Structure 1
Amino acid sequence: MKKFFLVTVLIEYSAESVTDAHYLYADFNKAKEAMSVQIEEAKENFDGQDGECIVDVDTCQEWRNEDGYGYTVGIEEITPQD
């Protein structure tokens, strides 16, 4: 059965400013490449701020600053139902 890979991006700049995006891929390696690009772009929003990676695994990275704002970028595997 065909699988798809959804790259999800959540960036929380503040309580009032949030970006949520999704990108669908048919190839896991392309999704991994896209995830890397999205992480680099998300990091630019918090350049110079102190913070730490809370989650850093193959298919997900979550980073938070001292105020609790940050980003989560991940890959979800989707198998369509018949």
Structure 2
Amino acid sequence: MAVKIRLARGGAKKRPFYRIVAADARAPRDGRFLEKLGTYNPMTEDGTIVLDRARVDYWLSVGAEPSKVVTRLLRKAAKTPAA
């Protein structure tokens, strides 16, 4: 089973909100997922990212492949100092 770390879209029309999830690569975008790893809200001024870093590191260690957008968000979250 190939696992991807990707975004699942939620929210209303023109008001997106995303969950960062670990999911089987064959599952639909907003369908079944293995674990919720965090959230991303692009509607805030700074694009709020909330992550469970320990679980993200676990999934990466067992071979999960992040999508291009999730890779960018992980880098952005790593640069931001923890509040």
TM-score, normalised by the number of residues in structure 1: 0.31
**Higher alpha-carbon Rg:** 1
Higher helix fraction (1 or 2)? 2
TM-score, normalised by the number of residues in structure 2: 0.31
Higher relative contact order (CA 8 A, sep 6+): 1
